[in-house]
Structure formats: structure tokens, C-alpha cells
Chain A
Amino acid sequence: MQLSEEELVRYNRQILFSSFGEKGQKRLKQTHVLIAGVGGLGSPVAIYLACAGVGKLTLVDSDSVELSNFNRQILHWEDDIGEKKVFSAARKLKKLNSTVEINPVAVKITPESLEGLLEGVDLVTDCMDNMETRFILNEGCIRKDVPLIHGGIHGLIGEITTIIPGKTPCFECIFPRGAERQKPFPVFGATPALIASLQVMEAIKLLTGFGQLLAGKMLYVNGEDMEFVTITLQKNEACKICGGGKR
């Protein structure tokens, strides 16, 4: 696969990054990322992956745009109220980078729907706003051997880890209690923007093969006190989903 003259100009500033280069750009062009949730995290994730030149983005979200989204969900604007988020997002992303294939899917993520959605996908970004769907994503990705970049936020606090099936602890290993937090949750727009940016950094590194990943590690960001803490995660040998990384 060759890059066009226009692509060489468009992506020049990141091609200059020596660990990435034209090779990385070509690889990125051939990848397919599924963005689960196009809200506070999913909006900036989609924007930066589209800007970076990922070949295909599948956007999955069953919700419609509401007024209360606007403090953080930057792909949705006032004229979009009532529209399905995936279509609102797809319209802007095509204007941002018309060379990226955008596949909007307005369905709820269930074990059944996820099965087909994961076909041909190289990576999933977990941008959901609820625990239940995160566990569905985790199990689906483990079964299909698809890496999953988890991001979560609350107020000014955020977290991110990269789950690689067969290698790292899975979501179930990390959060075996499987609990839900109350909704609606407090949040400033800058929190998902920050975590989403980190998810995109992880995605680009993982898809093109350079740098160190947050694999088996959780990075916590506390914006209130401006502290960044990384902890090492352990596999759960009794994990009912991944068997402690054995499947």
C-alpha cells in the first residue's frame, strides 16, 4: 500500500516521528478500530483516530444527542439534538478527514450484536458509560482475540489500561466485583478529553508497533490534585473470562 502525495502532506508531522514514519502511516491506513460509545470519551477518540489516518472507524452507540451531553461530547452540537449519536458523529468526522471510512452503527452493544461487530476489527476502544457493557466488550474481545483499550472517568478522575487477550489481565480480572456506579455521574469535559487522548496514544502505538503500552498496568489521573499514578495489575487465575490470561 502506497501513500498518496496528499496523504504524505496531511500526515507529515506524525510521519516525522521516527518510530512511526511512513511505515506506521501505511499500517494505520490498513487498520479498523471499533469505538464503543460516542460520548465524552468516544468523541475525542474518534476525532484523533480520524485525524491520525486510521483506515476505518466503526462507531457503535444506540443513544441520541441530548442537551446534557454538550459539556463534554464535542462531536455533537446544538442542531443535533434528537439525532442518533453515531450519525451526528459520522457527519463531522467525514468533514474532518474524508479519506477515512466511517461506519456508524446505532445499536446497543450486546453479546449477540458484538459478535458480528468485531469481525475484521483490529482494536476496540472502550468509551462506554456503564459497567455492564464494559464487561460485554471485555468478554467479546477475549473470545475474538481483539485488544481493548479501556478508559473510564468520574469527575476529574480518570483511568486507562490496555487489555491484550492472552497476555494481560482482562477487565474481569481487574474488577471482579462487577459493580455499577450511580448515574448520572459528575464530569468536566476536560477529563474524558484527557483520557481519550491517552487512549488514542495507546491505539496508535499498539496498531503500528512502537513504544510502551499500559499493558497490565492501570494509569490513574487525578485532575483535582494533578497527580498521575500507575499501578501494576495482576491476572486472576480463577477469572471466568480469561482464565488468568490463558484464553
Chain B
Amino acid sequence: MSVRVVLHPMFYGHVNGKDSIEVEGKSVGECLAALVARFPTLKGELFRNDGKLKEYLEIYVNGKSAYPEELTCTVTDGDEVRIIVFAAGG
């Protein structure tokens, strides 16, 4: 089962410049775990020390926000998980 994780431009440097990565997983959490397993430097960008998502991230599945159950949101073959970063500075 393949899910495409589309990354925010801020993370391209952690995945060899790619804008998306194909991973296996039945939930957003599993997909992100698979992503981090391949690209370990992403862990600190995506997750807090307690394992929860960083506050400034939004997760969209097939174009719709997965809030508030982002990590347990189920995904199936061909789905797209998009990671969005909120750039709060001004």
C-alpha cells in the first residue's frame, strides 16, 4: 500500500531535495514514521519530544485537513498526505 507524502518546501533539504516521498502505512502516523525511518533528520522537524506533531504543522489528507486526529487518520493506497508548515513571522 503506497501513500504519497507531499512535503512543505522547508523540508526538501531533509529528503535530498525531493518534494514528495512514497511510503507504506495505514494511518498518517504510520506514514510519517516510515518517512522518518528513511530520513531521520526529519524527526526533529515533525515531532516534539513527547511524540506529538510540532505545533506549527498542519496535515492534509487528499486536500482536507486531518485535524484534530491527524496521526490516527486512516489512509489507503493512492492517498496523498500533505505536510503544511505555518510560517508565522512577519
- Chain A contacts to B: CB under 8 angstroms: 37, 39-42, 126-131, 134, 151-155, 157-159, 173-177, 179-181, 185, 187, 192, 218, 220-222, 224-225, 227, 229, 231-232, 234, 236
Determine whether the beta carbon of A220 is less than 8 Å from that of B9: yes
How many B residues, CB 8 Å from partner? Answer: 26
Which residues of the partner chain A approach B60 to less than 8 Å between Cβ atoms?
234
Min CB–CB distance B29 → chain A (angstroms): 16
Cβ of A159 and Cβ of B63 under 8 Å apart? no
CB contacts (< 8 Å) of B51 on chain A: these are none
Cβ of A187: which chain B residues have Cβ within 8 Å of it?
89
Contact B67 A152 (CB under 8 A): no
Contact among A42, A153, A224, A236 with B87 in the assembled complex (CB-CB below 8 Å) = A153
Q: How far is the CB of A71 from chain B (nearest CB, A)?
A: 12
Is A177 touching B55 in the complex (CB atoms < 8 A)?
A: yes
Contact yes or no, B88 A181, CB < 8 A: yes
Q: Would you call B90 and A181 a contact (CB within 8 A)?
A: no
With A154-B89, A180-B55 in contact, do A227 and B67 touch (Cβ < 8 Å)? no
Contact partner, B63, options A158, A177, A232, Cβ 8 Å: A232
Taking CB atoms and an 8 Å cut-off, the chain B residues in 38-75 that contact chain A are 54-58, 60, 63-65, 67-68
